[in-house]
Amino acid sequence: MPKEKKELTYEQARARLTEITENLSLGNLGLEDTLKLWEEGEKLAEICQKILDQAQARLEEIQAEYEDEQTD
């Protein structure tokens, strides 16, 4: 039975992305390892952006509801 992949939280994804950035900035990895980390970093950046976009949408929804209540 395959394991279910657990979704990362924003904090987990950002921490791993920071770790990858630090490793890449050292410049001591081979080409293949660099490419693997770069690809992982791209995926993590997408995850972070998706989570931030969802949070922004929720805040905008809450703000709209609040403004509607204030006009009633």
Residues 6 or more apart whose CB falls under 8 angstroms from that of 6 comprise none
Residue 15: count of CB within 10 angstroms of its CB: 13
Mean pLDDT of the residues in the chain: 92
User: What does the pLDDT average to over 48-65?
Assistant: 97
pTM above 0.75, yes or no: yes
Residues 6 or more apart whose CB falls under 8 angstroms from that of 14 comprise 44, 48
Torsion of CA 35, 37, 39, 42, to 10 degrees: -140
Span 16-50, pLDDT tens digits: 999 999 999 999 999 999 999 999 999 999 999 99
Residue 2 has pLDDT above 50, yes or no: no
User: What does the pLDDT average to over 9-14?
Assistant: 97
